[in-house]
Every structure is written in structure tokens, then in C-alpha cells.
Amino acid sequence: MDEIPENSTGLVAVRVPLQNVLKDVSLLCLGSSGNLTLAKDVGIAVGKILKEKGVTYYVFGSFDVLRITDTDPLAKVSTSPYITAQVLSLLAEGLSTAGVVPVFSAAGEVNEQVISALITRKATYPMMVESVEKYERLKRLGYTTTLVIDTEGNVLVGKPLKFSWSYEKEIDYESLRKEVLENSIVLLNRNVKKISVNDPWSGGVLVFSDEEWLLKIAQDVLDGRRAPTGRAP
């Protein structure tokens, strides 16, 4: 369940961090972007990469918001439940466009405002839960969907499905990831004279890659020569 298979047939589900598929582009990076609609483009790109590797389902995301106690902040989208829901739904839309079934990971803590926002957006995609009891709880909150699987891969609700289509257009993956990274340069605190890579709590300027071209832009933002492009997560 955890690694991208090189050659697979049948219904294959993977659960890997987004940045392991499209380098440096994490959920938190997307949630910190000044252009949230890029999440759909990333969904298409990630979907195309996975589809070409024979993947049927991509399990991703979290129904919780970013918290200062998180050991892996890159696995969350934002402290805002509304931005969290928007990015998750756009990613799912992009994955679907590319022919990969999006499966939200509902394991762990659940923020009820995230659930409400997803329902409002009509983004009740398939999901993975730890147990039937967890799904029953989400159902009571109004989240019902066509396919529910548990963390062992067993189908709890619905039947397995597979999208027959794929995304045929060429994608410049490097250009896309650079656009996303450049749109997620966040000024956290100008009084803290540092550049923080993938650390939303250290202050200064937050970026999501240590590549030299991006660090130079971040330094310009820190020095006041350029405006930040992203939003505080």
C-alpha cells in the first residue's frame, strides 16, 4: 500500500506522500499557495504519473487541520478547514481527470468543519478509514460516498471501481512544480532573519524546497526586495 509499483496490473492502491510523486510539492505547499487552483493541475500531473505506473487508487490527505503539535506538517494542508477542503477537492478533481480514483485518507483525527466544507463543495469522494465505526461517525456528520475501504484494503462500502480513461496531453512536470513552489513563498515574520524550508513554525520566510533558485527568491522576500507569493498556513 505504501510504495508506487513500477509495473502493476489489476486494482492497485498506493499511499505515498504527494511530494514523493511530484518532487517537493506537498499538501502543505499547496495549502500555502497564493493560487490554490494549482492544486487541480497538480492532481492531474500526479494522476498521470501514477496512471502510467498502473495505479488505480491514490490514497491521500487528512480530514484534520494543521496543528503546531504535528510531527509531519507536510501531511496537512492548512490550519484553515476551508482551505483544507478546497485543496483536497481540487486534487481529487485533478486525479479523476487523469483516470486515477482519488481516495481521501480519513484515518486519524477528524475536523468536523473540514467534513462540512467537503460536503458543501459536493466533494464526497471515496475514502479510507480505520474501521466501520469511523465510517459510521462520518456518515452521521453527513459524509456518504460510493466506496469506503479500510487501512488493510478491505472494501467496507460499495464495490471496487477503476477509471478507464487517462490524460493524454503532455505535461511539463518540472515547469509545473516550479510554478507551484514559486507561488508558495510565505513571509511568516520579517523580524526573523531566516529562510525556513518545510517548517511552518520557525518564522522568517517559508519555502518548500532548498533548491538554489528558490532560496534566492526567498532571500529577496526576506530583504523586502520582492513580495511574498503565498499565504501563511
Beta bridge partners of 59: 103
Give the residue extent of every domain in the chain: 13-157, 185-233
β-strands 13-14, 57-60: how paired? parallel
What the block records as the C-alpha cell of 158 is: 460499495
Which class is domain 13-157?
alpha beta
Rounded Cα gap, residues 124 and 115, in angstroms? 9
Query: In this model, does residue 52 exceed pLDDT 80?
Result: yes
Per-residue pLDDT reduced to its tens digit, 83-118: 999 999 999 999 999 999 999 999 999 999 999 999
- Provide the pLDDT for residue 154: 86
Q: Which three cell numbers stand for residue 66?
A: 494543521
Give pLDDT tens digits for 148-188: 999 888 899 999 889 999 999 999 999 999 999 999 999 99
Convert the pLDDT of each residue in 22-42 to its tens digit. 999 999 999 999 999 999 999
Residue 6 has pLDDT above 80, yes or no: no
pLDDT band at 10 (very low <50, low <70, confident <90, very high): low
State the Cα–Cα distance between residues 15 and 105, nearest whole angstrom: 9
Instruction: Please give the torsion angle defined by the CA atoms of residues 17, 22, 100 and 93, in that order, rounded to the nearest 10 degrees.
Output: 90
The residue among 149, 43, 139 whose CA lies nearest residue 87 is 43
**How many other CB atoms are found less than 10 A from the CB of residue 211?**
15
